[in-house]
Structure 1
Amino acid sequence: MKKLLFMIALSGAFAAHAQIPQPDPDTTTRHFLIVASIKNLQEVSAGEQAVKKGKNPEVKSFGKMMVTDHGAAEKQLLQLAKSRHIDLPPAATGGIKPDPLLDHAPDFDSAFVHAMSAGHGNTVQVFENYGTTGKDPSVKAWAQQMLPKLKMHLEHVKALEKQMK
């Protein structure tokens, strides 16, 4: 009976842990570049939505910054991947569709700011992880180079989120 209770408690602990988003611990270069590329493309797509649908001028401005900064980061990432002879799958290099949750949100600005806050928090963790434990020195240096801008995005969107409450 004790063994059964222990197994039930243990499975509950695993289930609870699985539901909590964790930074991706995979430090392989290809995996990091795939994740970083998808994140760039998502930020660009959401930024484009903000420019079109945002009502708050600061939301529109932040959206433009996402398009510019993450668009530039994506170009750097693709050049870096090519220089390292790493092929990225098509799903990681294009075809990111606008987020339907943002498209149909009753208050686009709030939904956008919340999504950017959560997304950048996770992105900073992913870049910090690879910047510390990454295996490829060039990609690791790029991750470290990107961190200040990503952290600035996070601070900016957190301030915007606070302002909008």
Structure 2
Amino acid sequence: MKKIIMLLTAVMAVHFAHAQAPDPDTTARHFIIMASIGNLQEINSGKLASQKASRPDVKSFGQMMVTDHSGAEQKLLQLAKTQGYQIPAAATMTPPPDLNLSKASGDDFDRLYIHAMVTGHRNTVMMFQNYAIAGKDPKVKAFAQQMLPTLKQHLEAIKALDEKYKNLVAK
């Protein structure tokens, strides 16, 4: 979570450092930036999980994150381009690896990854629901509505893994 905040702070600093023409819908631009950062973090963490997780179902979930969020990122960037939203480069670059996940292995990795995914997907579903309901840009709103069922499936899948492995304890 600290990395998300640091990355978002860097993105916003870059944004404010470069004067741009005002966006017609800053909430759509903000949503796109946040969704892009989220996609990239899911892809990065998913790659780690598909390599380092000790349980096949956690590895499989990680691979699903890579596949689904890679596709979502491509659609999102195309949408931003089509709608004319300028996205800072920092919001489309691979984020630094989560040091806790990178260093963890075995049960510790699985526990940390599952916890991060539950928290991350709850926040992501909430963000997408909010824009799907109250968003101003109809095409960005449609994207949020289109992605919500997949994100909700991800949340349910990771909550099931969390329940299944709730007894994993830190060593």
Same fold (TM over 0.5): yes
Tell me: CA distance 1:113–1:27, structure 2 relative to 1, closer, same or farther (3 Å): farther
Task: Please name the residue that 1:98 is paired with.
Answer: 97
Q: Percent identity?
A: 58
Letter in 1 for 2:89: P
8 Å contact kept, 1:27–1:129? no
Residue of structure 2 in register with 1:144 after alignment: 145
Counterpart position of 2:162: 161
In structure 1, give the amino acid aligned to 2:98: D
Q: Secondary structure at the match of 2:97?
A: coil
Q: Which runs of 4+ in 1 moved over 6 A?
A: none
Indicate the larger mover: 29-38 or 97-106.
97-106
Matched residue count: 140
SS at match of 1:130: helix
CA deviations 1:94-152 (Å, max 9, x no partner) are 13121112112361011000100000000000000110111100000110110000000
Q: Tell me, yes or no, if the aligned pair for 2:29 and 2:85 is still in contact at 8 Å.
A: yes
Distance 1:109 1:69 in 2: 20
Tell me what 1:56 maps to. 55
Contact 1:120–1:153 (Cα < 8 Å) also in 2:
yes
Instruction: Verify the 8 A CA contact 1:27 1:133 in the aligned structure 2.
Output: no
d(CA) in 2 for partners of 1:29 and 1:127? 11
Q: Distance in 1 between matches of 2:28 and 2:42?
A: 21
Question: Match of 2:36?
Answer: 37
Distance in 2 (CA, whole Å) between partners of 1:146 and 1:164 is 27
Is the Cα–Cα contact under 8 Å of residues 39 and 73 in structure 2 kept in the other structure? yes
- Higher Cα radius of gyration: 1
Aligned residues: CA RMSD: 1.3
CA contact (8 A) 1:48 1:67 kept: yes
8 Å CA contact 2:44, 2:94 repeated in 1: no
Taking structure 2 as the reference length, the TM-score comes to 0.79
* Structure 1 residue ranges without an equivalent (≥5): 1-25
Deviation at 1:31, TM superposition (A): 0.3
TM-score by length of 1: 0.82
What does 1:1-165 correspond to in 2, within 5 Å? 28-105=27-104, 107-165=108-166
Code of the aligned partner of 1:39: G
